[in-house]
Amino acid sequence: MAGAVVLALLLLLAAMAAASVAAAGGCAGEAFSANRAYAACSDLPRLGASLHWTYDRGAGGELSVAFVAAPAAPGGWVAWGLNPAGDGMAGAQALVAVPSSSGAWEVRTYNISGYALGEPGPIAFPASDLAAELGADGRVRVFGTLSLAAYGGAGVLNQVWQIHGLLNAVSWGILLPMGAILARYLKTFRSADPAWFYLHVSCQLIGYGVGVAGWATGINLGNMSNGITYTLHRNIGIIVFALGTLQIFALFLRPKKENKYRVYWNMYHHSVGYTVIILGITNIFKGMTILGVEQRWKTAYVAVLCLLGVAAIILEVVTWGMVVKRRNAESKTFNSASNGHLPRHV
């Protein structure tokens, strides 16, 4: 029952990925004063910085953030901001932590119009709970809550990640596993030949097309997120896309059934296909953790995987029963022919 084992392995790897990525990253161990806690975090590639945030849709689109970074020089300032109009410095709505004459840190708001901070003033997002402190490690922690309701909540911020995540979850994470199940089990039913093949190809081609769109939005998202790179997630995505593309080309190079090289093509096709599925599911969970999606979305995706796994196990049992029954019938037919009387020659 190799198929059931492979699909069970898929589910196990996905669950392990979800658990491991949730615990990964140095930002997860950050502790804050006043019992502050955040739903998600991300380690940034420069200044040993990290960003922590909680987005509350129910509170009118409130974004609570904590930005942790070391000043460029002793006594320097630390800033974090959002730019609702683009990805440059001009137009950024910034929270800037500066040391006061008393030695305490305070947070000022800046509506940046050029390449200089300018003067403090109101920003586009109503800000509250502003605070800053210097940690024992020399890094400054900037705290604040921004109300995004006036800009339609998080909708005006770049939400390409939503499209990216949805497309990839549907393609690499649902359609491709479904296509593999169709190919493995439907071909056992003689009445499904050759329909199973066209269903398999259609499912995989649609999945690949949607996956290409998801991969392209990921590339675009990376280009728009200057200075932020999730290396492992990106590399796995590139590998999945490359292997998926290889599978598409292999479809046109498939030898005929009677060709002596067909067995080797089958081995390649199955191994690469299962690799794409395993890596795709793993990367989907990594992406969910990076984006800090709500638990209900993770639960929904795990439920879909479980349904596919249960369907595969049931079909594995049914098809193996059919194969055994056919072999027994063929064996009886062969034995009857072997034990029969040979015709006499006159």
What is the C-alpha to C-alpha distance for residues 247 and 253, in angstroms, rounded to an integer? 10
Structure tokens belonging to residue 295: 């638990």
pLDDT of residue 97: 92
Q: What is the pLDDT along the chain (346 residues), one digit of tens a residue?
A: 444 433 443 444 444 444 444 444 478 888 899 889 998 898 887 777 899 999 887 666 788 999 999 888 888 889 988 877 666 677 788 899 999 888 889 999 988 876 677 788 888 788 899 999 998 888 999 999 988 776 555 554 445 677 888 899 999 999 999 999 998 898 888 887 888 889 999 999 999 999 999 999 888 777 765 555 678 999 999 999 999 999 988 888 888 888 888 999 999 999 999 999 999 999 999 988 877 777 888 999 999 999 999 999 999 999 888 878 877 776 666 555 555 554 444 4
* 200 is annotated as contributing to ligand binding: yes
Note whether 148 and 157 are within 8 A (CB). yes
pLDDT of residue 328: 77
Query: Beta-carbon neighbour count of residue 226 at 10 Å?
Result: 9
Sign of the CA dihedral 69, 107, 85, 67?
A: positive
pLDDT of residue 59: 60
Residue type, 336: S
* 164 is annotated as contributing to ligand binding: yes
Interacting residues of 262 by C-beta distance below 8 A, sequence separation 6+: 254, 255, 256
pLDDT of residue 64: 92
Structure tokens belonging to residue 256: 């005929």
Give the pTM. 0.55
pLDDT of residue 14: 43
For the chain, what are the domain ranges?
2-22+158-329, 31-153
pLDDT of residue 95: 93
Quick one: fold of 2-22+158-329?
Answer: Four Helix Bundle (Hemerythrin (Met), subunit A) (1.20.120)
pLDDT of residue 340: 54
Q: What is the DSSP letter of 138?
A: S
Compute the CA torsion angle 302, 303, 307, 309 (nearest 10 deg).
Answer: 20
Note whether 181 and 315 are within 8 A (CB). yes
